[in-house]
Amino acid sequence: MNNVAKYVAALSLLLTQTLFASSVLANDTGLPNDPFRSVMWKSIADRFFTDGPIVFDDRVRVIAPSHAEDQFHVPITVDASALNNVRQIVAVADLNPIPHILTVRPEQAMSFVGFRVKLQQSSPIHVGVQTEDGVWHIGGAYVDAAGGGCTAPAAMHGTENWMDTLGITRTIARRSVFDHARMTVKMRHPMDTGLAAGIPAFYMNELKISDTSGGLVAEVDLFEPVSENPTLTLLPKMLSAEATQLKVNARDTEGNVYGFMLDVPAAAQ
């Protein structure tokens, strides 16, 4: 039962050791120097971290393996819960053919997201957390990976009736503290990038979590690099200690719609 917790604990042993440079302008790009020395940094910043000043900030913790066991499923955890008033979290794999992994808008959730990503080659991961004042707080990690994560067919295509299993979901919600729950959603979906030969892009692209009164908890835009059978962990904020429910709605690029309720237990005494 504690497998998830054990896995995360094991991961934390593999934390990339990164030192963040201070946000001084030491080049002619108008951008702070990238501690990961990504050749794509200016391009990534111009494309994804727009309309606000950019600072590297060690309150944006990006936890990733230094060497990926499996380039199709690289676990990444973004913990920016030390930041308040967060508008959005944008995660990018610089050297992927399609860099944008996901965007989270944590309306009534902690500034935190866990997911798995496909990597086409070793790559810096940049995560921008934009606060309400417009400032982009950047963190990142560098992951060494074997090639080809984005251009191979999904594993589920080996079975004849894979389409019948679309959207089959496993979820878990638990609560060790009063003020938030930890929920993980895993849905069956090939998350085809469109880059494998003869297979068009087909992926889960919208996921929304709301509370029992319809209030928005968090919205996630997913893109092609998110791993097959997308697995997302979020930390919804909880207003009371009582057991409650959350509603999850998702949609893929073919217009298939998935929806279910998730039980959240009462806070532990």
- Binding footprint of other proteins on the chain (CB under 8 A): 1, 5, 160, 162-163, 165-176, 192, 194, 197-202, 251, 253-268
Residue 91 Cβ vs other proteins, minimum distance, rounded to whole Å: 22
Q: How far apart (Å, rounded) are the C-alpha atoms in residues 73 and 65?
A: 11
CB of 41 to other proteins, least distance (A): 29
The size of the chain, in residues, is 269
Q: Tokens in use for 98?
A: 């399609």
Residue 41 to residue 242: CA distance in whole angstroms: 45
Q: Which is nearer to other proteins, 90 or 262 (CB)?
A: 262
Minimum CB distance to other proteins, residue 88 (Å) = 21
Rounded to whole angstroms, the Cα distance separating 125 from 36 reads: 9
Nearest CA to 229 out of 188, 185, 258, 176 is that of 188
| Shortest distance (Å) from residue 46 CB to other proteins | 23
Count the neighbouring beta carbons within 10 Å of the beta carbon of residue 116: 21
Distance CA 165, CA 155 (A): 13
Helices (H), 14-63: 41-48
- Cβ proximity to other proteins: between 30 and 265 the closer is 265
**146 vs 267, which CB is nearer to other proteins?**
267
Minimum distance, C-beta of residue 59 to other proteins, in the bound complex (Å):
25
User: Of 51 and 198, which CB lies nearer to other proteins in the complex structure?
Assistant: 198
Using the minimum distance from each CB to other proteins, give the nearer residue, 30 or 259. Answer: 259
